[in-house]
Amino acid sequence: MKQIFQDLKAGDTLVMDVPCPNVKPGYLLIQTTTSLVSAGTERMLLDFGKANLLDKARQQPDKVRMVIDKVRADGLMPTMDAVRHKLDQPLPMGYSNAGVVVAVGAAVNDFCVGDRVVSNGKHAEIVCVPANLCAKIPEGVSDDAAAFTVIGAIALQGIRLAQPTLGETVVVTGLGLIGLFAVQLLRAHGCRVLGIDLDPEKLDLAKTFGAETVDLSRGADPVAAAMAFSSGRGVDAVLLTASTTSHEPVKQAAHMCRKRGRIVLVGVVGLELSRADFYEKELTFQVSCSYGPGRYDPLYEEGGQDYPIGFVRWTEQRNFEAVLGLLGDARLNVTPLISHRFSLDQAQKAYELVGSKEPSLGILLKYPEPQEKSSEELLRKTVSITASKGGTVRPIDIVSVGVIGSGNYATQVLIPAFKQTGVFLQSIASSGGASGVHAGQKFGFQESTTDSAGLLEQKGINTVVVTTRHDSHARYVCQALEQGKHVFVEKPLALRREELAEIADVHRKHQDLLLMVGFNRRFSPHVQKVKSLLEPVNEPKSFIMTVNAGVIPPEHWTQDPAVGGGRIIGEACHFIDLLRFLAGSSILSIQAMMIGPVAGLAVRSDKVSFSLSFADGSIGTVHYLANGHKSFPKERLEVFCAGRILQLDNFRQLRGFGWPGFSKMNLWRQDKGQAACVAAFVKAIREGQPSPIPFEELHEVTRATFDVMHAIGQG
């Protein structure tokens, strides 16, 4: 299938052939008939892509601060690599989609195959969208009109926050698509509306919808016009639907409002507020969030948990339905808003128009009719990449790799590390398809797919790399081993004891296959040096591992006990493995404490201190803390033994105190051992050697993470 992307590095619009996404539980698979280009939002993305690196930085000062913090913590080169990697990923475009349901995921009860629906799906022939972000199109509403639903819902949510009442005076500043929708919706509320813009054609449209207008291109004073419009009282509310960096729209809104007036920001404008303007009138200012309640709530959007209508009358889905109802009743007229239509194959022309100075408003993309493409062609889950460019002959008896998962860590770290070893990159699987195609083209895979089961069954693949979300690790490990594949899985190995027991059972039956977890810290040059220094010391050691973990929002998937397992199981396993490696001795006991309440199992604990005792008498303490400052090293290891000390900061600087012949080891750039970890795994496969980390240690470390969580839960 075809999908539209924006190249953030060069600013080009790309129409790529990608595999059809899988339908997930709680989701719908939709064949697109029409989608709407959001000129405002998508023009901003075009402009950002075409800007040079300095201008990109100026447009995103918050991101610049993050980059500076990363430079301080990890060094310049790793940070630049991360920035380049981020800009290298093409961005899927679009969020206003109309089409027909072709598949329904588990736990979806309100939709059927064949339903005409709207969604916030991308510009793609097939989209996979959560059911709570879809709504049925009423009979009598065309696909062209329905494609405006999401834009209409954005305007509607802003109006709901403004709480207009019959007869009030409302100003709409910015008469793009959202502004013109807002004019019609406010008129339907019984409000008098004043529209403000620079474009005479948009002002004329606003007049046809019943608004009075102010033409800024002729030097009109918007504040004076608003005061005259409101008979000198000041308007009741202002809806800011413009897109500008100027602070003037907010300042003007404050001046034209009556006492206790309301200002709602729907668009993007400068936000330098004057306290005096707002203080004297006791004005209310609010920013509207997209389509309404539920937006950016993963439990609502991805988990399918609707808000009770008695408590939240208008969710984003119910806002979609309200707009569709108004379209069906002919209270909203979108026909005058359509300025251009392009076929999907002409998408690049459509975006050239968006980026040009030529007047445009509602740009519709039209997709092939169902009969024009076979379902097999549209729904195919694998696309050829390297093979389509002439093919590559795969040598016999080499490491042939299939990768499941194409997220950030996989594409920035793991796949490049595997490529460096000279393995044959056969297939990469991703749930959505787009990221897999990009990774496949970038690293030279033969194919990209959304069919993970098919990848596991491929006879030509002898090694599987699993880089998916944590809840799928155990399942893929077992399936890959049962298919006769060597397995490299990102941490953690499992989220629950039952999963770990199942892996142990399967591994016992396939001991000729290598199973490796990405515990890379033990392979870093600094840790290898520490290990060599400790080898001759025949006495117990004391290890102190301080992890300045930083805050992750509680709604992030890694914090979800069912998906990510929490930060101890999901990340602190690295440091248990590191201390286990350096001690060179099995873990005997575990104690743990956390900051804050300890009632129940504290799955989201990220301010924890736990101690390990080892069979040789060594002890280790891990302080895993999310309440520190980012100027402090993210990872610090200290080792005390034999009257000497070793201190490792951020895998960049190792210092020795009292060590004969050793005082320090510095690297130009941070090295956490990822490449060496992968290289050791591939070397073991090629040479028929045991896994670089014995399975017994993988099992022991994973079990220890569960024991830490149990100890926290017990208080």
Q: Check pLDDT > 60 for residue 309.
A: yes
Candidates 486, 414, 480; CA nearest to 443 is 414
Residue-wise pLDDT for 168-210, tens only, equals 999 999 999 999 999 999 999 999 999 999 999 999 999 999 9
Arithmetic mean of pLDDT, 635-650:
97
Query: In this predicted model, which residue has the larger pLDDT, 370 or 560?
Result: 560
Give 381-517's CATH code, choosing from 3.30.2390.10, 3.40.50.720, 3.20.20.150, 3.10.20.740: 3.40.50.720
Task: Give the type of residue at 58.
Answer: R
Tokens at 610, concatenated: 């736990």
Structural contact between residues 485 and 452, judged by C-beta atoms closer than 8 angstroms:
no
Strands 587-594 and 607-614: antiparallel
Residue-wise pLDDT for 78-136, tens only, equals 776 776 666 677 888 999 999 999 999 999 999 999 999 999 999 999 999 999 999 99
521-714: CATH topology is: Dihydrodipicolinate Reductase; domain 2 (3.30.360)
Contacts of 51-55 with C-beta under 8 Å, sequence gap 24+, read 51/11
Q: Give pLDDT, residue 8.
A: 77
In terms of CATH, what superfamily is 152-287? NAD(P)-binding Rossmann-like Domain (3.40.50.720)
| Pairwise CA distance, residues 619 & 592, whole Å | 13
| Pairwise CA distance, residues 703 & 427, whole Å | 32
Q: In 124-142, which positions are buried (b, 16+ CB within 10 angstroms) versus exposed (e)?
A: bbbbbbbbbbbbbbeeebe
Arithmetic mean of pLDDT, 489-505:
98
Provide the H-helix boundaries in 122-258: 143-146, 149-162, 177-188, 200-208, 222-229, 248-256
Planar angle of CA 175, 176, 177, nearest 5 degrees: 120
Q: Check pLDDT > 90 for residue 227.
A: yes
Residue-wise pLDDT for 349-404, tens only, equals 999 898 888 889 999 999 988 666 666 677 888 888 864 444 444 444 689 999 99
What is the CATH code for 2-148+297-372? 3.90.180.10
In the chain, residues under CATH classification 3.30.360.10 are 521-714
Strands 257-265 and 235-240: parallel
Candidates 542, 709, 678, 677; CA nearest to 610 is 709
In the chain, residues under CATH classification 3.90.180.10 are 2-148+297-372
How close are the terminal C-alpha atoms of the chain, in Å?
53
User: Token pair 């926290």 is at which residue?
Assistant: 712
Residue-wise pLDDT for 654-680, tens only, equals 999 999 999 999 998 899 999 999 999
| Pairwise CA distance, residues 478 & 500, whole Å | 10
Q: Give pLDDT, residue 222.
A: 97
Helices 573-583, 525-534: axis angle to 10 degrees equals: 30
In the chain, residues under CATH classification 3.40.50.720 are 152-287, 381-517
